Amino acid sequence: MTGATRAIALDGPSGSGKSTVARRVARTLGWRYVDTGATYRAVTLAALRSGVALDDAAAVVEVARGSRIAQVTDPDASATTLDGTDVSEALRGADVTASVSAVSAVPEVRRLLVALQRELAGTGGAVVEGRDIAAVVLPDARVKVYLDASPEERARRRAADADAGVALPSGGTALQEAVAADLARRDALDSGRATSPLAVAPGAVVLDSSAMDADAVVERVLELARQAGLVDGAAR
């Protein structure tokens, strides 16, 4: 057993709607909400603050080992702390966003944080979002979803997101084009890394949310949970 089976594993790239859907499903079920991406961002923030070279894997691992990362898993009040301080807002900064893919590619960092992520998920019911949840973090999860959307739709959503965390020109077509370029860069890094690349896990249900609103995606995930026997038919 590598993780809680009473869990929903929600994977997918940036801009696919994972966070919105995961929070709402967790809220509906009264389960924990775990944002694994925030744990990688916390290590990235710690590394940036320490001044270590991000291409020095050994130094980054030492930062990860020396950092106390915790997460509030209430979907209505989620937060991530670093060494006892709430850093939720700082994690969305452009510097962290530009660097997190490189930090998260370090195998030992991933090993350390996977252990933390499993602890955060617990056994009482959790919706866990990220990029390798179904394949690595919680391969025993009874519901596995890969949430995707077209590159154009993902860029549009991120351009409209005030917390995109990307250093961008303001407004209009230039903004969306810059977001699209940043998403393409992160997709290439996340899909091409040697350890736990972003991919559709065996047994995962692929949902393309390009033409779906959040309500429809949430309902589909809840239906999958009902079909898997994780919740009763009353969960709406």
Q: Please check whether residue 43 lies inside any domain of the structure.
A: yes
Percent of the chain with pLDDT over 70: 90
pLDDT higher than 70, residue 2:
no
pLDDT band at residue 163 using 50, 70 and 90 as cut-offs: very low
- The length of the chain in residues reads 236
Residue 232 resides in a domain = no
Residue-wise pLDDT tens digits, 11-69: 999 889 999 999 999 999 999 999 999 999 999 999 999 999 999 999 999 999 999 99
Identify whether 29 is part of a domain.
yes
- Is 1 part of any domain? no
State the pLDDT at residue 131. 93
- Could you tell me what percent of the chain has a pLDDT over 90? 72
Confidence at residue 197, expressed as pLDDT on a 0 to 100 scale: 81
Residue 236 domain-assigned? no
Distance from C-alpha of 62 to C-alpha of 73, rounded to nearest angstrom: 26
- What is d(CA 222, CA 12) in angstroms, rounded to the nearest whole number? 17
Instruction: Between 84 and 3, name the one with better pLDDT.
Output: 84
Confidence of residue 189 (pLDDT cuts 50, 70, 90): confident
Q: DSSP for 110-168?
A: HHHHHHHHHHHH-SS-EEEEESSIIIII-TT-SEEEEEE--HHHHHHHHHT-TT-----
Structural domain total, the chain:
1
Q: Tell me the C-alpha to C-alpha distance, in Å, between residue 142 and each of 139, 150, 221, 225.
A: 8, 26, 12, 8
Report yes or no on 90 lying in a domain. Answer: yes
Residue 1 has pLDDT above 70, yes or no: no
In a domain, 171, yes or no: yes
207-221: per-residue pLDDT in tens?
999 999 999 999 999
Look up the CATH number of the domain holding residue 97: 3.40.50.300
* Domain enclosing residue 130, as ranges: 7-227
Within-domain flag for 135: yes
Long-range contacts formed by 209-216: CB under 8 A, 24+ apart: 209/16, 209/17, 209/21, 209/147, 209/148, 209/149, 209/153, 210/149, 210/150, 210/153, 214/17, 214/20, 214/21, 214/24
